[in-house]
Amino acid sequence: MLISWYFDRKSAEAALWAIGYSCICCGQMLQALRGIAAESIGTGIGVFFILFGVGLIWIGFRAFDHFSRPYLVAFLQPLVWLLLYFTFPQFYGVPNNRILLFSILIVSQLCLILWSVWQGWKKERLPMRILLIVIGIMYGVLTILRIPMSIFYPVIEVNGISSTSWFGVVMFILYCNSLGMCFGVFALCRERSLRQYKLASETDGLTGVLNRRAFYDRVDKKYGEAGGAVALIDIDHFKSVNDRYGHAAGDEVLRRFTAIVTELLRDDMVFCRMGGEEFGLFVPASRAHKGTDFCETLRMIVSHTPVVWRDEMIKITISIGIYHTLDAGKGLDTGLMQADTLLYQAKDQGRNCVVAGYGANDSAVMRPLEIGASRQTGPALWSLAANSHEAVSHLP
């Protein structure tokens, strides 16, 4: 863990876990010196280091998920141990009372760790969290079992060495659980790193939406099995924005546009940046009949939402070509080629409009547009120009 922290100095959780496990190791080494060193050092200080380390591990889990870090709560158990051990002879001189006290304190810390891991699971569902919870529960159950066993089968100490039929076996299992927790922490960090790398490979760095490759990965199979609607969206005269206001303003336009789309998206829709100022949208077959309405709603909102850049208000519009089909067996490339053709038609009609096209067998199935639609020749095709009816009662 110290090596992991060395290579990632900015990681607060790695630092806390490294220090925490180092404290636990120091505490266990001091306990191993019982019978050689003074009892107050081997047991009193040794257990203090163990409890102190477990508290830091709990804080490490909270730092891992960006929760608050209540250090005072983490240090409460080791301070209680010091106070009771060095103040009351009932704990200092009676090993079974020490087992009782230590078990209660360590289980209370374990509950805090398990609760934090569970809260993290609800925030980020990394599978290793479940294994850590299972290991933690096993550790807690064994620790609690030490209480009745110390009552019915009391531990006897000879020269600082605990002697009873169950003590060694239980301690060995607990050490194995502790080792499992440690490896679980490493695996948890690795899972997050892999997920972050995967997310980075699928996400457009500027806008935060999916990139072209991720769009294909998520849509190609669905589109081939059941069809749907695919749209290509282009920000009109984007080069002029860059030339007039600068590339930083152009980047802000892209970010604001994707933020608007993201707010409007339904859970089953897929949106991506194809490259430059061109974006892709997939509407599944179950909702495909509302795809054009969605695009028109998006077009109107974008045209009425200028981008604030320094002291300027940058007005933008978009052109959209959307192609619908319910035919299975067609590849995504085919659908995108149709959408690209429709997008060029939208640009030829003056931009700031939506042009929708339908497969030869789908025009009778799809719902006609509700907004100023005009039918043209050829495959079922509708054009929504900028001067068409500008009212939408609700989002699709």
Model confidence band, residue 160 (pLDDT cutoffs 50, 70, 90): low
Q: For residue 123, what are its two tokens?
A: 């925030």
Q: Cβ(13)–Cβ(63) under 8 Å?
A: yes
Residue 102 CA to residue 81 CA, distance in Å, equals 8
Model confidence band, residue 161 (pLDDT cutoffs 50, 70, 90): low
Provide mean pLDDT across the span 47-63. 96
By the 10 Å C-beta count (0-12 exposed, 13-18 middle, 19+ buried), 155 is classed as: middle
How much is the mean pLDDT over the chain? 86
The tens digit of pLDDT for each residue in 193-225 reads 999 999 899 999 999 999 999 999 999 999 999
Nearest to 33 by CA among 47, 18, 51: 47
Nearest to 84 by CA among 108, 107, 100: 100
Question: Residues near 81 by Cβ (< 8 Å), separated by ≥ 6?
Answer: 47, 48, 51, 101, 102, 105
Facing residues of 309 across strands?
A: 312
Residue 235 CA to residue 256 CA, distance in Å, equals 12
Higher pLDDT, 329 or 260: 260
The tens digit of pLDDT for each residue in 281-327 reads 999 998 888 999 999 999 999 999 999 999 899 999 999 999 999 88
**Is the pLDDT confidence value at 129 over 90?**
yes
pTM of full prediction above 0.85: no
Q: Which domains does the chain have, with CATH numbers?
A: 2-202 (no CATH), 210-384 (3.30.70.270)
Q: Cβ(382)–Cβ(376) under 8 Å?
A: yes
